[in-house]
């Protein structure tokens, strides 16, 4: 079911995703987490916070133009079924409709750390390291929204 939804560029139901995340978090035994690509929509966000009683310390947002993302996804050649122009464009539209409001929600709370992802890999990595280095205090939880 998850594979078919990903192929269609759709979002996996919140309850499925949260159960998988919660299981992985509990089995890990750590109190710090970086969750890549979640929450993808407002339902994910609200359900995650209600079920887990966790609100992220901050959210990483990797900003990049649609054209650059298309170019990178089409050239990564990893053999993924969803790396085709139709699915990529569907995913971008889903992001604009569903995920961007989540970013805006966390931005209104001062929790978004924006990274210019169009820069070279080394510069992006340095920017990400700087975000984590800036957190001197104990960081409880992280969440990351990506496309």
Number of domains in the chain: 1
58 vs 11, higher pLDDT: 58
Tell me, what's the pLDDT at 124? 94
Write out the two tokens for 63: 């900003």
pLDDT at 97: 92
| In the chain, alpha helices (H) | 2-7, 14-28, 42-52, 66-75, 85-94, 100-108, 121-133
CATH number (domain holding residue 42)? 3.40.50.300
Cis peptide before 115 (omega within 30 of 0): no
Distance CA 89, CA 135 (A): 35
- Give the domain range for residue 23: 2-145
pLDDT at 103: 94
Structure tokens given for 16: 């499925």
Task: Give the global pTM.
Answer: 0.72
Please give the Cα distance from 40 to 63 (Å, whole number). 15
Q: Assess whether pLDDT exceeds 50 at residue 37.
A: yes
> pLDDT tens digits, residue range 63-116?
999 899 888 888 876 767 777 888 888 888 888 999 999 999 999 999 999 999
């Amino acid at each position: 079911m998850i594979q078919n939804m990903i192929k269609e560029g759709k979002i996996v139901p919140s309850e499925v995703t949260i159960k998988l995340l919660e299981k992985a978090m509990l089995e890990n035994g750590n109190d710090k987490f970086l969750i890549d690509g979640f929450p993808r929509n407002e339902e994910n966000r609200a359900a995650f916070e209600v079920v887990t009683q966790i609100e992220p310390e901050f959210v990483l947002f990797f900003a990049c133009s649609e054209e650059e993302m298309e170019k990178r996804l089409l050239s990564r050649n990893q053999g993924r079924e969803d790396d085709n122009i139709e699915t990529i464009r569907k995913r971008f539209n889903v992001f604009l409709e569903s995920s961007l409001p989540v970013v805006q929600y966390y931005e209104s709370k001062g929790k978004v750390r924006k990274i210019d992802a169009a820069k070279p890999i080394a510069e992006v990595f340095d920017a990400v390291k700087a975000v984590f280095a800036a957190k001197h205090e104990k960081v409880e939880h992280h969440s990351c929204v990506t496309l």
